[in-house]
Amino acid sequence: MREFVNEAHIEAPPAAVWAVLGEGYGDLGTWARLGASTHLEAPGPVGVGTTRVVVVPYLGSLRETIVAWEPEHLLVYEVHGLPGLVRSVQSTWTVDAEGEGTRVRMVSRVTSGWGLAGALSLKLSAQSIQSMLGRMVRALKRRVERGAPA
């Protein structure tokens, strides 16, 4: 298992950050600019059990299901549908007031699959994973502060 940590200070109150990150859970594809499109699997309020479908070119569809939810503070989701080299991914986002703004922290725990081959693959791709997750946090900051996609 490998842990990836990214964080940023956002010049906006926690409610503004949560509006994009939590309430806008299905809209990730509109601001993260990861080359993916996203939508909620089913209509309704967002919370524990809500699943976001992320369609990634050349990878297919991933499903990200919320497993913990504390409005304006905590969002935890698990990613399903990953290639066999990755057994599991769980991402935890925390949103905390910090001065006049908000501290956002994303911790992603990635567990490799397929024994030694998976572990080696995770080790070799760690820098790319860290970079991609860092872009997500920076994109959230840009969306909240400027109202524009990354």
- By the 8 A CB rule, do 126 and 2 touch? yes
**Mean pLDDT lowest for which of 44-48, 126-130, 145-149?**
145-149
Does 117 have pLDDT greater than 90?
no
What does the block give as tokens for 44? 């309704």
Q: What is the pTM of this model?
A: 0.91
Distance of alpha carbon 106 from alpha carbon 44, whole angstroms: 25
Q: Is the model more confident about 132 or about 65?
A: 65
d(C-alpha 50, C-alpha 127), whole Å: 30
Q: What is the pLDDT of residues 62-83, one digit of tens each?
A: 999 999 999 999 999 999 988 7
CA pair distance 42, 35, nearest whole angstrom = 22
Count CB-CB contacts under 10 A for residue 112.
21
Residue 76 β-bridge partners: 68, 92
CA distances from 65 to 41, 44, 89 (A): 10, 14, 11
The SS3 of residue 83 is coil
Name the class of domain 2-146: alpha beta
Token digits of residue 130: 């860290």
